[in-house]
Structure 1
Amino acid sequence: MASQTEPAPPVGTAVTLEPLVRRVLADNPSAFTLHGTQSYLVGAGRDVAVIDPGPDEAEHIDALIAAIGDARVVAICCTHTHRDHSPAAAPLKQRTGAPIIGCAALNLESIGPRGDAPFDPTYTPDRVLADGERLTGDGWTLTAVATPGHTSNHLCFALEESGALFTGDHVMGWSTTVVIPPDGDMGQYMASMELLHQREDKVYYPAHGAPVTNTRQLVRGMIGHRRQRERQILRQLQDGPKPIPAMVTAMYKGLDSRLVGAAGMSVLAHLTDLARRGEVVSTDDTWSLTN
């Protein structure tokens, strides 16, 4: 499900999105990152925080350092630990002396092939934030919002002064996120989406894609999209037991071949959630309705 789009931002250039927020794009475009990972600098005074420092690429780290300028980095914050989000945290800490604060460490192998970035084994936080914990700097306050689902350790960060929410990969500005078991959990993802729908954030700043201003409308649409996928899966199984590849072929017409594996993992995430609710059962590699 596509959402909002914008022209490709300039790579390595700090772009001001609002008085307290600047964005720096890393040069790592792909079928899963769109134009690349977007790192955010929060703060316009003597203190700044860096959210999702991105991949460990010298050019991107140099661009962040240039954007930071004479300010003091008080926190390097990661929404989660996929390799397009957190590996630059350690070298940025070396260069600035700032602590790594945010999501918990997590390093798991996927149960199957994946096209998105796997987990970052180098991530070592100095402080893990619980839901509702705050970070403060000169003129800004960030509050952690636990949003498990895409990964079990995923956090968003709310900028209290402006009503902005940094959504990492939980809500992206161009597509729905991938949910890949065993760590990705569709039930948790849907609960986290319902949580965001209850909030009144004015704008989302995702790690990939354009800022989102119709926040609750977009979340409502994404929830509806996932429920529609679930209904599609159940309709597929009404015709009899099926393996996941057959369901993907039937459900995802014209899908980019690079995304077939991720689509299969998304179907598996739905099936795992449905099985937990007692609606489907698996035998070997085939799934069927329980009734």
Structure 2
Amino acid sequence: MALVHPAYGQLRQVTENAAVLLAENPSVMSLEGTNTWILRAPDSDECIVIDPGPLDEAHLARVAQVPVAMTLISHRHFDHTEGGERFAELTGSPVHAVTPEHRHGGGTELSGGDVVEAGGLRVRVLATPGHTADSLSFVLEDDRSVLTADTILGRGTTVLDDTDGDLGDYLGSLRSYIELGPGYTVLPGHGAELPDLETIARGYLAHREQRLDQVRSALRTLGDEASARQVVEHVYADVDESLWGAAEKSVNVQLAYLRG
């Protein structure tokens, strides 16, 4: 029987060219854990890895069982990057990233518009900032799938990092997914895969617009200078308080967007 999410410690084939190893680092922010994606054509002896995940020796060793041509980093958050340096040592392969501190083993700068060819595949790099300033997605045309990292998750909604996240950028990134057209499978950084990226992205856009309306309404009630925490307590009153810290990050970004 085919494996289904979540499956810890087991390589799970999702599309013809993409398999996933789920790291055992569950949390409120990472859902069941971080997805490390392994991309290769069926007849290839090597692969491309997307996000080595946490510094977990057992997880990294499992990922390294297939010869690695290169590793690509989706964004700077530690649950995606912490194992990068060790993974480069294990595999002798480069780790490419936007930011210098996440490049290892001779890795170079990665940016939107790049095209990577290895493992018998052609992967197009798509800049999708908003969750973080350096967020990237990876378009795999061979089986019409997009690795969305944390820009779109397998369930729930994305928290925007209030240190360098930007709502305007995020909305633009969702629209760039829609522009790809229908029929792309979502391969997220956390959670299970989803069908039809275009439909999911439209739903995410509608959700963001709804939240913005709620924040605008809260400001009318609380006053224009209300804090993010006050807005969270007003808008997220029906949400478990354990999630308010994450919600506050997104509200900070929403307030920055509304206040220009």
Fold agreement, TM-score > 0.5: yes
Q: Distance in 1 between matches of 2:38 and 2:93?
A: 13
Q: C-alpha displacement at 1:240, in angstroms?
A: 4.4
Matches within 5 A, 1:182-193: 182-193=163-174
Map of 1:168 onto structure 2: 149
Find the residue that maps to 1:29 and give its secondary structure: coil
Structure number with higher strand proportion: 1
Letter in 2 for 1:223: L
Match of residue 242, structure 2, among 258, 275, 287? 258
Q: Deviations over 1:90-117 (max 9, x none)?
A: 1111111111123324xxxxxxxxxxxx
Q: Does 1:229 align with 2:211?
A: yes
| Cα distance in structure 2, aligned partners of 1:102 and 1:144 | 11
| Secondary structure at 2:64 match in 1 | helix
* Aligned counterpart in structure 1 of residue 69 of structure 2, from 58, 71, 74: 74
**Offset from partner CA, 1:232-251 (integer Å, 9 cap, x none):** 11111223413322221121
Equivalent residues of 2:115, 2:124 under 8 A apart: yes
Amino acid at match of 1:49: I
2:52 is aligned to 53
The structure-2 alpha-carbon separation of the partners of 1:227 and 1:178, relative to structure 1 and needing over 3 Å to count, comes to same
Q: Which runs of 4+ in 1 moved over 3 A?
A: none
Aligned to 1:123: 102
Which piece of structure 1 moves more, 180-189 or 238-247? 238-247
| Structure 1: distance between partners of 2:112 and 2:161 | 23
Q: Distance in 1 between matches of 2:231 and 2:9?
A: 41
Equivalent residue runs for 1:1-291 within 5 Å: 8-43=5-40, 44=42, 45-66=44-65, 68=66, 72-105=67-100, 123-125=102-104, 126-200=107-181, 202-241=184-223, 242-276=226-260
Report which of the two has the higher share of helix: 2
CA–CA distance in structure 2, aligned partners of residues 91 and 19 of structure 1: 28
The share of aligned pairs that are identical, in percent, is: 29
Residues 252-278 of structure 1, C-alpha deviations (whole Å, 9 max, x = no match): 1332332211111211111101111xx
Cα distance in 2 between the residues matched to 1:207 and 1:16? 15
After TM superposition, the score normalised by the length of structure 1 is: 0.82
CA contact (8 A) 1:53 1:88 kept: yes
Give the C-alpha shift of residue 230 in structure 1. 0.8
User: Which fold has the larger relative contact order, with Cα–Cα distance below 8 Å and residues 6 or more apart in sequence?
Assistant: 1
Distance 1:179 1:60 in 2: 27
Residue 161 of structure 1 aligns to a residue whose secondary structure is: helix
Q: Secondary structure at the match of 1:9?
A: coil
Which whole-Å CA distance do the structure 1 matches of 2:4 and 2:38 have between them?
21
Unaligned runs of 5+ in 1: 1-5, 106-121, 277-291
Q: Deviations over 1:85-140 (max 9, x none)?
A: 011121111111111123324xxxxxxxxxxxxxxxx5235211221111112421
Report the AA paired with residue 26 of structure 2. Answer: P
Query: CA-to-partner distance for each residue in 1:214-235, whole Å, 9 max, x for gaps?
Result: 3111111111111111111111
Please give the secondary structure, in 2, of the residue aligned with 1:79: coil
Tell me the distance in 1 between the aligned counterparts of 2:137 and 2:97: 9
Structure 1 residues 8 and 212, CA gap change in structure 2 (3 angstroms): closer
> Are the equivalent residues in 2 in contact too, given 1:12–1:63 (CA < 8 A)?
yes
